[in-house]
Copies of this chain bind each other. A is one copy, B any other.
Amino acid sequence: MKKISESAVRRLALYQRFLQEAASSGVDTISSGELAERGGTTSAQVRKDLSLFGSFGKRGLGYDVPELTRQIREILGIDRTWRVALVGAGKIGSALFSYRDFQQRGFRIRAVFDSDPAKVGQDWGGVAVSADAEMDAMLRAEGIEIVIVAVPAEAAQAVVDRVVKAGVQAVLNFAPVRLRVPRTVTLRNVDLTLELEGLSFALTSR
């Protein structure tokens, strides 16, 4: 498979949501123009994105909604569930834990870790908060595939080093710091302040 850019993957995920909405409204076929609007791009880009993975749709007839939905779900790997752990049971961690959309899309948080003894043992809707010291063994025992890091910036690199050592290959980082991971590990950063800076730039450069 060709190397797919992060932005192409992002667009595929947006197309997929639109397809789901369309399907639930009983729409059977959809044009590249409609998908383009949803993905914030052009029809040509939609056709190019989808052609990376094979041939979809019929010229002039548009795409078959259930079929394309199924194929994109498979491409994105969201036709299954994922075993996720959350490190950091603070405010951000707690908000992420309750985020319904994760659950609905198959991302199941199976373990939560924190170094604060006051938090360890708390019952979070069926998941008990575990001590930081138990993390390494539990990541392996639970077969965790994705780890969400929601600890303070100064603690994040040490956490991710342990997570990587425990064999986890995908990390979503919310700590406002740049983390180093081996090439075999995929790291995505959600940098909340960066988004606000994008807005301040837009307001300033008018």
Residues of A within 8 A of B (CB): 1, 4, 6, 9-10, 12-14, 17, 38, 75-78, 82, 84, 91-92, 94-96, 98-99, 101-102, 105-107, 145-146, 169-172, 176, 178, 186, 188, 190, 192-205
A188 touches B198 (CB 8 A): yes
Q: List 8 A-B contacts (CB under 8 A).
A: A4-B205, A75-B204, A78-B200, A101-B193, A102-B192, A105-B193, A186-B199, A190-B190
Is the contact region of chain A dominated by helix, strand, or loop, or is it mixed? helix
B10 touches A102 (CB 8 A): no
With A94-B91, A193-B107, A204-B76 in contact, is A146–B186 under 8 Å at CB? Answer: no
Which B-chain residue is minimally distant from A38 (CB atoms)? B178
